[in-house]
Amino acid sequence: MEKHAEEAIRLKLSSDTACYGHCSGPARHYFLRRPDIACFACGGGYISRIVMYGMGADAAALRQFIESISGGAIDVRDEDIRIATRHPWEMGLEGRSTGEKVMTEAYWNQNYRRGKSDDASRIALFRCTACGSPFTQRFDTASPRCGACTGAEGKASKVRRVHVVYANWCPHCVPTTVEPAREMASELGAELVLLDIDSREQEADRIVMEHGDWCADYIIPQLFFEMEDGSVRHVLTGFSEGVEFTRKAVEELRKSDFYRHLVGVSPS
């Protein structure tokens, strides 16, 4: 995806909308896989819509993504997914031909039309309000946190290792992310694992491919918490827009209820 297109998404396509089918509150825009897949989720974590952006966005690709994050628990078919075309005038891109296609959007609305159900015990997709990961649970359970964040008995799972995928030459990484990650590992009583893409490329690629924001030239830094139960939580990806954006994201992570809960501080 072109850099200007990603920035345009943030400016033109990420406005709050109404939560559909769960509550009367607003649903906000969150990336599930930067830069091409996002969702709209309410304060309770319920996902109203999932959107795939890009010239290659299509129904089959989005369906496969939804199946992967739901473990096949969500019934979605290609015909449930709609396709929209975005043009320069919609995206605020001056100097481009008005008839030019900037990107395609494939989008899916949860519990809509064919898949609509009033069964309160149905399985639904939520976004964890602590770590931001998508997860499934009964619609009427409505816990805003995934199992890895709450633990089996509603307590925070312990972090065993903090993994940082980075490069020494990248200002988003050093010192912007690596030094705070070192401090977080100390606060969490966890091992710090530094995966330099220039010297530990295979290990870095593997954790990003399996748990992070993956593409052939993926964005760094990326930060992961490996939990004591063996699960891995992707908690941060740097921002290509500028170092200040990445620095702010790191600060927000450390101030989040999710992180405060992990270090044993009562959420504010």
Does residue 82 fall inside a structural domain?
A: yes
d(CA 108, CA 67): 12
pLDDT band at 154 (very low <50, low <70, confident <90, very high): very low
Q: State which of 145, 176, 201 marks the end of a domain.
A: 145
Mean pLDDT lowest among 66-80, 170-184, 228-242: 228-242
Task: For residue 232, give the CATH number of its domain.
Answer: 3.40.30.10
d(CA 207, CA 188): 20
Q: What is the share, in percent, of the chain residues with pLDDT greater than 90?
A: 41
230 & 206 share domain: yes
177 & 131 share domain: no
Q: Look at residue 153 in the predicted model and tell me its pLDDT.
A: 43
Q: State which of 145, 169, 202 marks the end of a domain.
A: 145
Q: Look at residue 266 in the predicted model and tell me its pLDDT.
A: 47
pLDDT band at 268 (very low <50, low <70, confident <90, very high): very low
Does residue 151 fall inside a structural domain?
A: no
CA angle 135, 56, 52 (to 5 degrees): 30
Q: Look at residue 117 in the predicted model and tell me its pLDDT.
A: 84
* The total number of structural domains that make up the chain: 2
User: Torsions phi, psi of 188, nearest 5?
Assistant: -90, -10
92 & 197 share domain: no
pLDDT band at 91 (very low <50, low <70, confident <90, very high): low
251 & 126 share domain: no
Q: Which of the residue ranges 30-34, 56-60, 89-93, 166-170 has the most confident prediction, judged by mean pLDDT?
A: 166-170
93 & 176 share domain: no
Report whether 175 contacts 169 (CB < 8 A).
no
d(CA 248, CA 99): 37
Does residue 251 fall inside a structural domain?
A: yes
171 & 242 share domain: yes
17 & 96 share domain: yes
Burial pattern 102-133, b for ≥16 Cβ within 10 A else e, equals bbbbbbbbbbeeeeeeeeeeeebbbbbbbbbb
In the chain, alpha helices (H): 3-12, 59-70, 88-91, 147-150, 178-188, 201-211, 243-255, 257-262
For residue range 11-70, list pLDDT tens digits in order. Answer: 567 788 889 888 888 888 888 887 789 999 988 899 999 999 988 788 999 999 999 999
Domain that holds residue 77: 3-145
Q: Which amino acid is at 105?
A: E
Residue 8 has pLDDT above 80, yes or no: no
Q: Which of the residue ranges 98-112, 213-227, 250-264 has the most confident prediction, judged by mean pLDDT?
A: 213-227
Does residue 193 fall inside a structural domain?
A: yes
Q: State which of 87, 118, 145 marks the end of a domain.
A: 145
65 & 195 share domain: no
Q: Look at residue 120 in the predicted model and tell me its pLDDT.
A: 87
Torsion of CA 208, 213, 219, 222, to 10 degrees: -60
pLDDT band at 143 (very low <50, low <70, confident <90, very high): confident
19 & 95 share domain: yes
101 & 197 share domain: no
For residue range 186-234, list pLDDT tens digits in order. Answer: 999 999 999 999 999 999 999 998 888 887 788 999 999 998 878 888 8
Q: What is the mean pLDDT of residues 65-90?
A: 87
108 & 140 share domain: yes
Report whether 81 contacts 125 (CB < 8 A).
no
211 & 235 share domain: yes
User: The pTM is what?
Assistant: 0.62
d(CA 70, CA 73): 5
Does residue 16 fall inside a structural domain?
A: yes
